[in-house]
Amino acid sequence: MELLRFATAGSVDDGKSTLIGRLLFDSKAIFEDQMEAVEQASLRRGEVTNLALLVDGLRAEREQGITIDVAYRYFATPARSFVIADTPGHVQYTRNMVTGASTADLALILIDARKGIVEQSRRHAFLASLLRVPHLVVCVNKMDLVGYDQDVFNAIVEEFRAFAIRLEVSDLSFVPVSALVGDNVVHRSAAMPWYEGSSLLHHLETVHIASDRNLIDVRFPVQYVIRPHRAEHHDYRGYAGQVAGGVLKAGDEVVVLPSGWPSTVAAIETFDGPVAEAFAPMSVTVRLADDLDVGRGDLICRPHNRPHVGQDIEAMVCWMADGALKVGGRYAVHHTTRTARAVVKDLIYRLDVNTLHRDESATDLGLNEIGRVRLRTTVPLFYDEYRRNRTMGSFILVDEATHATVAAGMMLDPSHGG
């Protein structure tokens, strides 16, 4: 069975919580005691059963009727297991959606059929494309309130497609649904015979995700060195880590960065025995044929397929802290298993997430703003363009005084910009 991680974006008004509630309820992932608790809580508030209460876990959220933070929900069908990163639409929407989308295979965007595409829909689609979520599903919701009209649906599809051309979205699908009634959520709806696609759940169960990972460029960031210091493993020295790209095979010729020393993969080991090959996201231990000085933060790759190596990094960053990013600011940077310090050399432009307008006169990035920056790091980073490999092309910036995570970064190709 496979695992599919998807992010949902939107506000209660779009019917997002109802849609999630419907998916969970119809797939039997909501338990009776949870449902009972929600019904009782709704009664106390004098509301009809409010499925948003299932998702809004914190006291402040329930009191204020808003979602503050990303919540993770789980359900499974016989075909797949699902992790939903449910990201709120109200407060801190950019920060939360970027967080939820960073690990998602698929992003689900809700559009109210009565209102059509609004600013928020464009923003969500842009953030999903910025974070390189491989699959985008647009649910046109509340179809029951527009008389299940095919023309309404088609007009939204057409307008969205025209807008999405400006983004890089590799797989875009549209499903007309009514989350409240359940049309096309779990089962195909008889009310919309003109719709020939699959139900939302069927789409989630069958969308092809196996080829989303990079299986070409071998990347193994060394995370931890295993040295047992025990009699039976006296000379054992294994490099533990999680494969970040490609298919690494026993017997492969490799080089270790930054030293550039060549070696051969002697074995790829796990607790359950050696494996002939390893691919992302497997956690394994690699042993090399030669005795080299290798430690955390080094990278094992193939001699003729190396990542970029550099201290001058261009990246799109999403700023997540109250104090603004400024040129000259210094931060700690966490990239794969490597840590360095970085200084912001240049803010190239600030991007308006609603219009995609680039403001080249910007001098800082405030909370929830996105821009393109140039960084200089204290040591070289080994990286790939984010669009080619999300693990090798992502980093976070950490404030060295408060230790807060202040930015998420997506690296660009140094050779041809972007």
Partner 1 sequence: MTDTRTKPPPPGAYQLTQLRALESEAVHIFREVAATFEHPVLLFSGGKDSVVMLHVARKAFWPAPLPFAVMHIDTGHNFPEVIEFRDRTVEELGVRLVVASVQASIDAGRVAERPGVSRNRLQTTTLLDAIAEHRFDAVFGGARRDEEKARAKERVFSFRDEFGQWDPKNQRPELWSLYNGRHQPGEHIRVFPLSNWTELDIWRYVAGEEIDLPPLYYAHRRQVVRRDNMLMSLCEWIQPAEGEEVLEALVRYRTVGDATCTAAVESAATTADAVIVEVAATRITERGATRADDRFSEAAMEDRKKEGYF
- Interactions with partner 1, residue window 91-110 (CB under 8 A): 95-96, 98-99, 102-103
Give me the least distance between CB of 245 and partner 1, in Å please.
11
Strand partners, 77: none
Residues 1-20 that bind partner 1 (CB under 8 A): 1-3
CA gyration radius for the chain? 24
Q: How many residues bind partner 1 (CB under 8 A)?
A: 86
Tell me which stretch binds partner 1 (CB under 8 A): 166-174, 195-203, 234-242, 377-385: 234-242
Residues 148-207 that bind partner 1 (CB under 8 A): none
Q: Is residue 128 a contact partner of residue 202, using CB atoms and an 8 Å limit?
A: no
- Kindly state whether residue 275 participates in binding partner 1, applying the rule CB under 8 A: no
Tell me which stretch binds partner 1 (CB under 8 A): 7-15, 32-40, 114-122, 157-165: 32-40
Which of 293, 403, 416, 417 is in the footprint of partner 1 by CB under 8 A? 403
Q: Which long-range contacts (CB under 8 A, 24 or more apart) does 346-350 make?
A: 346/373, 346/374, 347/371, 347/372, 347/373, 348/314, 348/372, 348/373, 348/374
Give me the least distance between CB of 406 and partner 1, in Å please.
9
| Cβ-proximal residues to 316 (8 Å cutoff; 6+ apart), any chain | 130, 351, 370, 371, 372, 386, 409, 410, 412
Between 160 and 386, CB nearer to partner 1? 386
- Kindly state whether residue 340 participates in binding partner 1, applying the rule CB under 8 A: no
Which of 59, 165, 235, 291 is in the footprint of partner 1 by CB under 8 A? 59
Give me the least distance between CB of 76 and partner 1, in Å please.
7
Length in residues, the chain: 418
* Number of continuous H segments (helices) and E segments (strands) in the chain: 8, 24
Q: Is residue 42 a contact partner of residue 49, using CB atoms and an 8 Å limit?
A: yes
Is residue 140 helix, strand or coil? strand
Give me the least distance between CB of 132 and partner 1, in Å please.
11
Between 194 and 224, CB nearer to partner 1? 224
String of DSSP letters for 298-347: -EEEBTTB--EEEEEEEEEEEE-SSSPEETT-EEEEEETTEEEEEEEEEE
Between 191 and 255, CB nearer to partner 1? 255
Give me the least distance between CB of 315 and partner 1, in Å please.
13
Between 206 and 363, CB nearer to partner 1? 206
| Cβ-proximal residues to 235 (8 Å cutoff; 6+ apart), any chain | none
Q: Is residue 86 a contact partner of residue 115, using CB atoms and an 8 Å limit?
A: no
Name the DSSP letter for residue 210: G
- Kindly state whether residue 77 participates in binding partner 1, applying the rule CB under 8 A: no
Between 32 and 196, CB nearer to partner 1? 32
Task: For residue 223, give Cα distances in angstroms to 134, 363, 381.
Answer: 27, 37, 15
- Kindly state whether residue 302 participates in binding partner 1, applying the rule CB under 8 A: yes
Is residue 84 helix, strand or coil? strand
Tell me which stretch binds partner 1 (CB under 8 A): 80-88, 105-113, 150-158, 167-175: 80-88
Which of 21, 89, 176, 241 is in the footprint of partner 1 by CB under 8 A? 241
Is the bond preceding residue 380 a cis peptide, omega within 30 degrees? Answer: no
Which of 12, 20, 23, 54 is in the footprint of partner 1 by CB under 8 A? 54
Give me the least distance between CB of 113 and partner 1, in Å please.
29
Nearest partner of 142 among 174, 179, 175, judged by Cα: 179
- Kindly state whether residue 228 participates in binding partner 1, applying the rule CB under 8 A: yes
Between 21 and 176, CB nearer to partner 1? 21
Between 59 and 416, CB nearer to partner 1? 59
- Kindly state whether residue 247 participates in binding partner 1, applying the rule CB under 8 A: yes
